[in-house]
Structures are given as C-alpha cells and as structure tokens.
Structure 1
Amino acid sequence: MRHEPAGGLGDAGQLGRRPRAVVVGGGIAGLAAATGLAERGVVVEVLEREPYLGGRVGGWSETLPDGTRVSMSRGFHAFFRQYYNLRALLRRGDPGLERLVALEDYPLVDADGHRDTFRGLPRTPPWNAVAFALRSPTFRPADLVRLDARAAAPLANVSVPGIYEAIDGVDAQSFVESINFPPAARHLAFEVFSRSFFAPPSRMSAAELATMFHIYFLGSSEGLMFDVPDDGFDTALWEPLRHYLTTRGVTFSTGVTVSSLERGGTVEGGRFHVNHSDGGTDADAVVLATDVRGLRSVVAASSDLGEPVSTVDGPGALERWRADVAALGSAPPFLVQRLWLDTPVDASRPPFLGTGGLDPLDNVSVLDRYEHDAAAWAARHGGSVVELHAYSAAPPPGVDDDAWTAGLRERCVARLHELYPETARARVVGELVQWREDCPMFGVGDFARRPTVATPVDGLVLAGDGIRIDLPVALMERAASTGWQAANRLLAGWGLAGHPLETVPTTGRLGPLRRAAQYAMRAR
C-alpha cells in the first residue's frame, strides 16, 4: 500500500528563508529523516554519538591480535524484501541496491535436529504459511486440525492499531500456546522470530508477534527470504548514503553527544538550542532519533521546552508525554561474538542458521560467504569468519557482567561445535565481542502509551524503531518509516511536500479469511 503525504512546495528555497533542522542520531531513523528534509531543501545537521553512522546497523574497523585490520559491527541484520521504506532510503546511495545480495536459504534447527527451511515456498498468501507449516518436520497434518481457530483468528485479521487494541495485553508465549501449536513448532515457527526483538516470548507483546506474521506471511508476497550487505555496513550502506546527503548540504558531526534541548535560539526564527558535547546548535526543528536510553536522557534533561503550541492535546499533555518517554523500556542485553578461525567451515553450511531450543545460541552466521572483507581474510588464512548471537541474555541477579559474558561466550562456542563439528578443530585467531543493552522493549501492554512521531512541542518530532507508528512495520523498517514520517511532519508545517511511504496491506489481504477471523474474534 502506498501512503501519500501532504502536498506542498517542492523546495524550501521558495519560502524566503530555508528552515534549519538538527537530527539527533545518525542511525536508520535519523538518516531517513535527514534525507526527507534535505531533499526538500531544508538545512540539516546530523549529530551522532558514535564515530560512525548507521546506529545499531553501524560498521567500523578493529584490529586483531596479529595486527590485521578487520570489519566489525553489532551483528547480523536481515534486509527483508518487505522493508520498502528502508530500501527506498538505501537506494539514495545505491540506486540498484547492488550492495545487497540474496541468501539462498535461511534454515532453522532445534535441539532435536528438526530443520525448517524457507527455500521454495510459494509466495502467495495464505499458501506460503500453510506450505511452511505442512512441510515442517515439527508440524504434522493432524496438528492443523487441532489448532484453535478462535485463538488463532488475530493472525488472519491484523490491522494497525486494531491488533494492538485486541491482544497487546497478552504475551507472545501465552498467545501461541493458546493456538495449540505443537511445542517443537513453537520453537521454530514463532520463538525464533519473537527473539529477533531481543526479548523472551513471555515478556513480548502478542500483538507484535501477530504483526510480524502479517508482514512476512499473510500480508505480503515477499516471504521470509532476505538480502544481506556484501561488505561491512559502513562500506556497503552508509558511506554511499553519506556522500549522497553531503552533496545535498547535510553536515555530519560524529562523536558528539547531545545532552538536552531548550526553547529559543540566537538565530532568526530559531525555536531550539541543542546542547551537546561540542557546544551547541540552534535550529527551527529537532528530530530526536536516538535509542531508547538516549531519548529518555535527553527528554529528562530538557526542562525548558515551553508549553505545547497545540491545544488539541489538552492540559498536562507535555507532562504526560514526558512520563510516556520515561516509561520506555529496553530489552535484555544480547551478545555478538565474532570469531576468526584458521579452519574453514564446511562448504555445506548455510550462510545463516537460526536456532531454537539451543540455549544460549540464537543464530550462526558464516560471514565469509557473503561479506567481501571476511571472504578476503578467509582466503588469505585458509579459514573462516563466524558470528554467534545470544539474545535476551541477562545475567542472573548478583552475577558480575564480565563473568557472565565469559561463560556465555564459552557456551555459545560449545553450541557451535555441536552444530558444526569441524569448528572444534579450529584455532581462534581473533575474537571480538559486543555486549549491548540498547534495543527497545515491546512489552505486554506497552503500545497504548508508546510515544509517537508527533510530540506536544511544535517543531520537535521523534523517530526510531521504538517509536509508535500506526502502520504494519517492524524492526529496521519501523526505524526507516518513522524517520520518513518525522520529516513529513516537519515539512507539512513549513508547507513543503512530503514523501510517500509504502507498507504491506494495513489489513488482512484475503477477504474470506479476514471475515472468518472477525467472526471468530467476536465469538471469543
């Protein structure tokens, strides 16, 4: 579906004075907002805390013990074909998306050796979901008869925000159990995807899981096959986009931490002064496109935002908004462990493998199968570059983080040896580890008070994958979509034309299935 923006002038030069906007955060959301504004002639400055762009999809170089410079990141990301708005952003730097390469398969395996694959599935809903279930070794035809159609009805009747109003108060684990999926199928068909939100299913909203099912199965024909960048994220994605934006007048300041905002500025018409580690910047508008922790910190420190310009939100709107921002949660920490091995991984291994019930390991990537830098290292050393992920990996109370992560790394490597026995013979030439806790939490019942792109403060907007947007998007695509929407809201305020957004259908695609689901939901 195409969502048309407000119309208006094509360039800010027609306004007499070009507005100035500061985008706080150089991740996907911030870069989408900067692109949307700059393409309409707005003067844009991007302030990024890290020394690189891309946020949680950023890339940089590090040095192995032998002195070799290698590419590093915060871990594998899948660029699904349904990420229309993210792909529109990446096309600014790579018009043909030539830096994205398709993975031929995306198998899932569990502790009992059951193996699912997405290769060769039909692309037409609902046959894609039916074929996946019936082809799975964890799901027998008799299991289809035992499913609780009433409990499963929300999966066939997803609309946004309607699905959140219906089941956001239910956790994903309870929801899937109520459908009567076989336990093994729950591991492979649902838990693997719920953990992509970096949270255990028992703490994640069932509405988020249902929305994902709609995005990847019943709402689209792209399925679950995806692309990956052919090199480090900085080289393949963000350097080309940075060049594109620089030619349009966008300035970038990296390694700069924003502490607070305040009303007013020294420049003509300035509404805000942005305080940061390099001093301060005045702007007509601000996009806060930080992670959840950064957003909470900046808003808490910004005591002088004035009164809301709009009376639509009613008295106390600013205080309620502050409380909603403060209530945003972060998902449990996760581990990314990248290993440079002196032995190649067997050629039969897939580039990416998802796991279920193999605690603490969630997936394995063989980077030298698709990333140029890793492939070059593997060729020189006759080895391989492997990455392991462990999501929702919080240490027990009272356990030291360093001791916990050391044990976690050992357990992940032991799982790798079980899955890929040839790696047990390998010597680890280099190891780099990321231990992070900065992904948004999509907890049970959170949706209603999750902050939206719009705020009660005129000229201040939010963007990011933790920000509410009433469209069927998730993960990186939510970040990109909120970034475009943030730009559109500011552009509309200046009488400038916005940018269209595209999503999978906002309701179930199949009329008979949707009507049956509506009937079943009313009967619950």
Structure 2
Amino acid sequence: MSAVAQQGRDRRARVLPAAPGRPAFDRAGPGGTAAPRVAVVGGGIAGLAAATGLAERGVRVTVYEREPQLGGRLAGWPVRLRDGSPATMSRGFHAFFRQYYNLRGLLRRIDPLLTGLRGLPDYPLQHSGGARDSFAHVPRTPPFSALGFAALSPTFGLRDLAGMAPRAALPLLDVRVPEVYERWDGTAAQELLTAIRFPEAARDLAFEVFSRSFFADPGALSAAEMALMFHIYFLGSSEGLLFDVPAEPYPRALWEPLGDYLEKLGVRLRTGEPVLGIRPEGGARIVSTAAGEEHCAAVVLALDTAGLRTVVGASPQLADTAWRERVARLRTAPPFLVSRLWLDRPVARRRPGFLGTSGYGPLDNVSVLERWETEAARWAARSGGSVVELHAYAVDPAAARQPRTREQVQERLRGELARVYPETAAARVLDACHEWRADCPLFPVGGYRDRPAVRTPDPRLMVAGDLVRTGLPVALMERAATSGLLAANVLLARWGVRGHPLRTVPDRGRSALLRSLARLG
C-alpha cells in the first residue's frame, strides 16, 4: 500500500512534523541516559495514544485505568446471554471516519493495513416525516461535497436555498482554530442555524444528528463545535462522510492487541486501579493509588470530565489554583442510553448497518450489528435473528435517575424501532442489555475558555482527551488521539527526544476564493 493510501486521499491534509531530537532514550544501561518514568492516568484512546508515543521513544510508562479493561468510552466487556452464548457489550457504535488520521495511525501499530476495519457503504439519515438523506453518492471533494449534499437531499428545495442568509453562513467557508471559538463559542448551535435560516427539515436531519454526536441538544451546544464539525466533514476535507467500523468487538479488534503491543514496549498496564491523587515532590510527581505510590518524572491526565475533576480535586497542590478552578467548572453532557437487543427474527436485508434518525422520540440511531460485526453475525446465523443497537442521546437527567422512567425510555426505544423498521414489531426480544451513562464532555455555549489545554501551568503535567483544547481542527475520537500524541510530544521535546508527526484536515478553508468570500461575513 502506498504512503498516500495509508495516510488518506486528501493531498491538502496538514502535516505537523515531529520536533527534532535524538531518536529515543538509550535502554542499554551503562553509559546511556536513564529513561524517565511517566504515569498516564486513563486507559482510553487519549491515554493509550500518549503511552504509545512515549513508550516508542523508550520512556518507561505506567498506565492507570480505573475500569477492569482498557478502552475508556470504547471499552467492551463479556456478557452471557440467556441461551448460553458469550457476547460482548459496549457503550455503543462509534464511526471511524477516514479523516481521523492520528487515531487510524495509532491503530496501524497493530494493524498496518487496517484490515480489521470495515467500511459501511452509506450513512443514511431518516426523519419520521419521510425525508431521508444519504451520503453514498455525495462527492468527496469540497466544495462539491456540501453542494452535492444539498443537491441530492430532499430537504433542500429551491425555495429553501433562496431563503437562506448567505452572509451569515460565509464564515463557515473558512473555519480556523482558535478563531472559530472566538467568533462562535458564545452562540448556541441552534442560534447559528436560525441566523443562517437553514431549512428546518435539513436542520433536523443533518445538523441535529451531528450535534448529537456530542451527546448534547443543539440548543446547549457551542456553535463553534458545530462549525468545526462542518469544516472537518464537509468543506475542510476530501476524505468524505463515509466511515469504517471494527469488524470485531472493541476488545478483540483494538484494545487487546494494542495492550499487547504496549506491554512488549515495557508499558505497565494497571487496570482496575484508579488514581486517588497526585502531588508534586521536588522534581517528581507522586501518583497515589490504593496499592501504593509511584514516583514519576511527569504525569498525563487522560480522563473523562468527571474523572479529571475528581483527581484534580483530590490533588490540591497540582498546577495552580486558577487552573484547578477551571477544571472544577467543566461539565458533563446529559445522560445517554445504549440498548442492545437480540431479536428472534432478522431485520430486513435491505436495511443499512447504521441509520441516523430524527423525529422518533428519544431514538437517535439504529445499528444492525450483524451487518459488520462478526460476533453478532455468528449469533444471527445460529439463531436466525438480528442484533440491534439503539441509542438515545441527551436524555432528561431527571428521567435517567429514576429506575421506572429509565424503563419507560427503554420501552420507548423498542417502540420507535418498530416505527423505523416495521418488520421488528412482531419480533421477540430474546435478550437485552441496557447501558446508561453520563460521562461525555459537554461543550456548552461560552465554555471554551475553561477547557484545559494539553499544557498546564505545571511543565510536568499534561492533559489529554476529547475535552482538551488542541489548537487543531480535530474533534471526538480524533481529538482524543491527537491530544494524547501532543502530550507525549511536549514531554519528549522537554527531554530532547524526537516526537511524532501528526496529521489533520487543512487548518483553513481550502479555496482562496472561498476564503475571500468568508471575509465578507
């Protein structure tokens, strides 16, 4: 496979060269430079990316993960179904877009050709009113991607297009970081769409689905994050809007192989061991767990919002007061539900593997797992049924706290599935797993200033994760992977060791003409 094919098809993607330095720490012992010990707190994408970037340069790394398994919000764990079959449950479907260069680069450590990822042929979006959008035939290259979407979408009529406010939309033609936050972080995503006079039907389908990728209602989401997503997928990248998914459950496809890779590099993986606090002591940072203390030269905090607040709150000497107060103000997105149902009969073969939905009550998307996941496909072949996953984002927190109302939401999802795919109405649920979670970062209006950057006031303390400000056009899982590698690079540069090159979508509008038009907005 060519280098271009490995890195992606977009020749305008931005490459951030590795900082210079010696190749790695010398592990030879006598006469070599002793490698420092770094604690990475959190074993999700960001933490494993940081651990990989450091360990590949000879740094001694310990990864602390409070859960029994690696993977963070992409973790999976074994369950036993009523029929005795082993299965894997997780926190739900995630899309591995082709412009997730650094995440995919991390996965290439264990799967150089990414053969474990399977491309889905489409990403349809369906509204209860009958409108349906598809990305299968949308051109990849901007601006034809956005124009093609509008031309092919049944939600864009000539009257709708004529009624839009182009001047309000012009800045979307040249999205940059951090300027996009300076312009729009004080505005809600819903307000921006209203100002643009974006068609209601198209808004429900396209932008509501994207905003809910952040597990938030469009009225509570920063417009800057939505504008950045528009750049990453529509106007900033020619990788397109189709994506890949792991062909096996997350543990087998991703985390077990990556864990093996890290252990071969000497990384100590301490799962099921939460960090209780961190304190500075001279030139060291002392990491405390129930099992004892470890002296480290540096620490990378790669935690979710609540975990970061907890560890920082238990570490009163960490960084400085102003930084700790900003961390304490970080918020978590509303609860969400993932329901996985094992049905006694199949979903119709014409149904897509993944469908985004709007107007179906709390139901935000439907996955038919046997379309791509081999574990689900084996069960479906044996039973003659289907394995279906349903998501509900931004659930009312009050409802999520009460067992009875939780059951009502779960039952409502089952009912909405029958509206979306009528052939499932008569299906019997042979087994079900319901995961309620509330641990995704919230990007509220005006919240950007409080979000931590990779660097902190303490040069021996880094932060990584999808909540972090990177100064780069990345989001979601790609922001997690990128920030983890950035944290590793900062520490490696401190020690005079070469870092790792990074890659992103272009950091500005692709066309000089469109950039000129954007300045008129």
- Into which bin does the TM-score normalised by the smaller protein fall? over 0.9
> Is 2:33 aligned against 1:33?
no
Aligned to 1:281, the other structure's residue is in SS state strand
Using the alignment, how far apart are the partners of 1:396 and 1:499 within structure 2? 45
| Separation in 2, partners of 1:407, 1:223 | 38
Number of the residue aligned with 2:5: none
- Matched to 1:50, the amino acid is E
Asked whether the equivalents of residues 138 and 152 of structure 2 are also in contact (C-alpha less than 8 Å), the reply is no
Residue 7 of structure 1 corresponds to 20
How far apart are the structure 1 equivalents of 2:465 and 2:397? 27
Choose the corresponding residue for 2:119, options 102, 114, 119. Answer: 102
Equivalent in the alignment of 1:225 = 242
Matches within 5 A, 1:268-279: 271-279=284-292
Alignment partner, residue 314 of structure 1 = none
- Farther-moved stretch of structure 1 (64-73 vs 172-181): 64-73
Q: Does the CA contact (< 8 Å) of 1:134 and 1:141 recur in 2?
A: no
- 2:454 matched to 1:453? yes
CA distance in 2, matches of 1:410, 1:175: 34
Confirm whether residue 385 of structure 1 aligns to residue 387 of structure 2: yes
**Aligned 8 A contact 1:59 1:232 in 2:** yes
Give 1:394 deviation, angstroms: 2.0
Offset, 1:272: 1.1
Give, in angstroms, the shift of residue 66 of structure 1: 2.9
What is the DSSP-based 3-state SS (H/G/I as helix, E as strand, rest coil) of the residue aligned with 2:425? helix
| Aligned AA (1:457) | D
C-alpha distance in structure 2 between counterparts of 1:146 and 1:512, whole Å: 23
C-alpha deviation, 1:337, in angstroms:
0.2
Q: Do residues 347 (structure 1) and 354 (structure 2) align?
A: no
> What is the match of residue 92 of structure 2?
75
Shift of 1:323: 0.9
The letter of the residue matching 1:98 is T
Mapped to 2, the partners of 1:303 and 1:128 lie a distance apart of 49
| Shift in Å, 1:146 | 1.8
Q: CA deviation digits over 1:436-479, x for unaligned, max 9?
A: 00000011011122110101112110000011111000000000
Q: Work out the CA distance in 2 between the residues paired with 1:155 and 1:468.
A: 20
Matched residue SS, 2:462: strand
Q: Partner residue of 1:312?
A: none
How far apart, CA to CA, are the structure 2 residues paired with 1:71 and 1:184? 37
Query: 1:371 aligned to 2:373?
Result: yes
Once the two structures are superposed, the pairs formed by residues 228-239 of structure 1 within 5 Å of their partners are 228-239=245-256
Contact kept in structure 1, 2:68 and 2:272, CA below 8 Å: yes
Q: 2:315 aligns with which of 302, 322, 342?
A: 302
User: Which residues in structure 2 correspond to 1:186-335 (within 5 Å)?
Assistant: 186-264=203-281, 271-305=284-318, 318-335=320-337
Normalised to the residue count of structure 2, the TM-score between the two structures is 0.95
Moved more, 30-39 or 511-520: 511-520
Q: Is the Cα contact below 8 Å between 2:334 and 2:397 reproduced in 1?
A: no
Between the two proteins, the alignment pairs up a number of residues equal to: 504
Q: What SS does the corresponding residue of 1:12 show, helix, strand or coil? A: coil
Aligned to 2:172: 155
CA distance in 2, matches of 1:33, 1:144: 45
TM-score by length of 1: 0.94
- Partner residue in 2 for 1:311: none
1:22 aligns with 2:39: yes
C-alpha contact 2:140 2:241 (8 A) present in aligned 1: no
- Secondary structure of the structure 1 residue equivalent to 2:219: helix
Q: Secondary structure at the match of 1:164?
A: helix
CA distance in 2, matches of 1:217, 1:272: 43
Alpha-carbon deviations, 1:102-155, whole Å to 9, x = none? 000110000101000001111110111111012111111232222111211221
Q: Structure 2 vs 1, CA of residues 380 and 30 (structure 1 numbering), >3 Å: closer, same or farther?
A: same
Cα distance between partner residues in 2 of 1:103 and 1:518: 37
Q: Tell me if 1:467 matches 2:484.
A: no
In the other structure, the counterpart of 2:4 is: none
Cα separation, 2, equivalents of 1:396 and 1:258: 30
Write the distance in 1 (CA, Å) between the matches of 2:64 and 2:145. 43
Shift of 1:182: 1.3
Question: In structure 1, which of residues 172, 176, 186 is the aligned counterpart of residue 193 of structure 2?
Answer: 176
Q: Secondary structure at the match of 1:133?
A: helix
| Amino acid in the other structure paired with 1:207 | A
Report Cα offsets for 1:310-345 as digits up to 9, x if no partner.
xxxxxxxx1111111111110000000000011011
1:292 is matched by which residue type in structure 2?
T
Q: Distance in 1 between matches of 2:85 and 2:36?
A: 46
Runs of 5+ unmatched residues, structure 2: 1-13
Shift of 1:401: 2.3
Q: Distance in 2 between matches of 1:157 and 1:458?
A: 33
CA separation in 2, counterparts of 1:185 and 1:358?
Answer: 16
The Cα shift of 1:400 comes to 4.4
Match of 1:477 in 2: 478
The reply on whether 1:394 has 2:393 as its aligned counterpart is: no
Aligned-pair CA distance for 1:411: 0.7
What SS class does the counterpart of residue 203 from structure 1 fall into? coil
- SS of the aligned residue for 1:125 comes to coil
Give the counterpart letter for 1:68 in structure 2.
Answer: S
The Cα of 1:11 is off from its aligned counterpart by 1.0
Quote the offset at 1:264 in angstroms. 2.4
* 1:125 and 2:142 matched: yes
- The equivalent of 2:6 in structure 1 is none
Which residue type is aligned with residue 367 of structure 1? L
Amino acid at match of 2:493: A
Deviation at 1:513, TM superposition (A): 1.0
CA distance in 2, matches of 1:172, 1:41: 44
Q: Secondary structure at the match of 1:139?
A: coil
Tell me if structure 2 keeps the 8 A contact 1:107–1:118: yes
Query: Does the Cα contact within 8 Å between 1:106 and 1:353 map onto a contact in 2?
Result: yes
The counterpart of 1:116, out of the listed 133, 140, 143, is: 133
Question: Structure 2 CA distance, aligned partners of 1:111 and 1:92?
Answer: 42
Whole-angstrom CA distance in 1 between matches of 2:503 and 2:52: 16
Q: CA deviation at 1:395?
A: 3.8
Q: Aligned partners of 2:185, 2:170: CA distance in 1, in Å? A: 14
- Looking at structure 2, the residues matched to 401 and 78 of structure 1 have their Cα atoms a distance apart, in angstroms, of 30
